[in-house]
Structure 1
Amino acid sequence: MNQSITRDLTRIASDLAKSVDQLCFAEPVTHVYNPLVYAWKAHQEYLSLANGNLEALFLGMNPGPWGMAQTGVPFGEIAAVRDWMQIECPVDKPPNEHEKRPIEGFACQRSEVSGRRLWGLFSEHYVTPDAFFQSQFVVNYCPLVFMEQSARNRTPDKLPANEREPLTAVCDYHLLAVMQLLKPRFLVAVGVYAEACFKRVVQQGNFDATIVRILHPSPASPAANKDWAGKVTKQLVNAGVWKS
């Protein structure tokens, strides 16, 4: 644990939580969850695992309903967070909870496939969390979950421009602050959206790092449903992020 890194990351995340809470979103979005508030304790525990001068910073889009929305950890599939990272904290409820998307915290019985695949790959490659977090870290670009009345998930890129642009400004600022603090050599985008975010922030902040895109682990992607781990390992090795 690097106490200086933990302190600064915590401050940066707290600022992000407050900033996004001040934004407004209209229909078809009817419910917005901010796990940086109701799952803050678990998120703090996660941030305490980070180190500076990283080899790679991995970036996702925003929380999934059965992952970070429940645990406060990016791609935070419950078993991976509880059993591998050894994080398990009380999780509160969001102010406006959708009956079809209850927040049950670590008692949730659902499993987020994307998180299971991503953290599963990391645990296979690094064996121990300490080995992984010594040189790698994972963050989400946007901390919010957006839902429609039907409970359908609405991703940040689908928001109208008048809502998306203020959100982008806040999240870009946060991402650059994280990058400047952790100083990664590689910026690993989990999917196309994350890659665009990295490119924009690198240009704005004149940040020097190599951007790499890997296949998103979502089961909604047909390519991810056949040997995702093998494909992504090859991508990371070919890019020089991991050794073979």
Structure 2
Amino acid sequence: MEANDENIPKIFLKYEDQLSKELNNLTFSSPAHYIYNPLEYAWKPHSTFVKTYCKGTKDVLFLRINPGPWGMCQTGIPFGEVNISKEWLKMNGEVEKPKNECPKKQIKGFECHRSEQSGKRFYGFFKNLCRTPEVFFKNAFVYNFCPLSFMEKEEEGKRCANITPDKLKGQIKKDLENICGKTLVNILKLLDVKIIVAVGRYTEKQAVKIIQESQLDIEVIYMRHPSRMAGRNWSKTAQNVLDTTDLKQYFSNNN
């Protein structure tokens, strides 16, 4: 299928569907006990998000590591904190349940009352900057390197802690990175991306590796992940990234 503005979302979703099926064939072991795949159980709102905001090519791709339990795991939207997803992105839709659900991190979809700090900060920052999602998504999109969320087993003294892909060990980590990396290359080519904004050091490392191996002419810019670990001044850090690079031009109402 030839890529144009009209069928880019269809091809994008096809790549993600293939990615989801390939990852489902992998066998994960301890400590990754609960494995959530929102590309399966939250496919309806996710596909609506892609069809709404991924029309046409994108100069900038924000690359984050994987879904958070109170963000994309609930809504199917990368960095998809529930309230801002509903109120700013105007997203909603039916969300089913993962096959093996953690009792402490249940999926309630857009009815979830927990807030994901990183998603609230990320989209909150760009809401203040761009005012409307149409301005933000005109030249940019947001994508997870890995669509799966991993959590440790619920046991006494444990809290079903998140396990990010960089914490996986051995061959399974290599297999996951290879599969996700191949899909990322397809996405970069499809969207004709010029700049990857790597949200976190792990995604920066993966992006640089993939670009070098694929010989793609894409710039990688690092942005600190907007988690609680970033402190209260994350918005100033993000603004500094925009001010000291060529990024700011892509988020202007006049562009």
What is residue 232 of structure 2 aligned with on the other side? Answer: 226
**Is residue 2:185 matched to residue 1:160?**
no
What is residue 195 of structure 2 aligned with on the other side? Answer: 186
* Contact residue 51 and residue 135 of structure 1 kept, 8 A: no
What is residue 140 of structure 1 aligned with on the other side? Answer: 144
5+ residue gaps in structure 1? none
**Is residue 2:125 matched to residue 1:121?**
yes
Between the aligned partners of 1:3 and 1:35, the Cα distance in structure 2 is 25
Aligned length: 241
* Contact residue 52 and residue 183 of structure 1 kept, 8 A: no
Matches within 5 A, 1:27-42: 27-42=30-45
* Contact residue 55 and residue 241 of structure 1 kept, 8 A: no
**Is residue 2:185 matched to residue 1:176?**
yes
What is residue 8 of structure 1 aligned with on the other side? Answer: 11
Partner of residue 54 from structure 1, selected from 36, 53, 58: 58
Q: 1:30: Cα distance to partner?
A: 1.2
What is residue 89 of structure 1 aligned with on the other side? Answer: 93
1:149 aligned partner, one-letter code? K
2:206 aligned partner, one-letter code? C
Between the aligned partners of 1:153 and 1:53, the Cα distance in structure 2 is 33
1:142-192 Cα distance to aligned partner (Å, 9 max, x none): 000111113111111111112101101110011111100111221100010
2:181 aligned partner, one-letter code? D
Greater than 3 Å deviation, 4+ residue runs:
none
Between the aligned partners of 1:123 and 1:97, the Cα distance in structure 2 is 32
* Contact residue 6 and residue 56 of structure 2 kept, 8 A: no
Q: 1:51: Cα distance to partner?
A: 3.4
Q: Aligned to 1:134, what secondary structure does the other structure show? A: helix
Of the structure 1 ranges 150-159 and 29-38, higher mean CA displacement relative to structure 2 is found in 150-159
Between the aligned partners of 2:32 and 2:24, the Cα distance in structure 1 is 15
Between the aligned partners of 1:46 and 1:206, the Cα distance in structure 2 is 30
* Contact residue 118 and residue 226 of structure 2 kept, 8 A: yes
2:197 aligned partner, one-letter code? V
> What do you get for the CA RMSD once the two structures are aligned?
1.4
Q: 1:4: Cα distance to partner?
A: 1.1
Between the aligned partners of 2:168 and 2:45, the Cα distance in structure 1 is 28
Between the aligned partners of 1:79 and 1:182, the Cα distance in structure 2 is 28
* Contact residue 145 and residue 153 of structure 1 kept, 8 A: yes
Between the aligned partners of 2:133 and 2:5, the Cα distance in structure 1 is 15
Give TM-score scaled by structure 2 length.
0.91
2:205 aligned partner, one-letter code? A
Sequence identity percentage: 38
1:49-94 Cα distance to aligned partner (Å, 9 max, x none): 1133322100000000000000011111011211111110010000
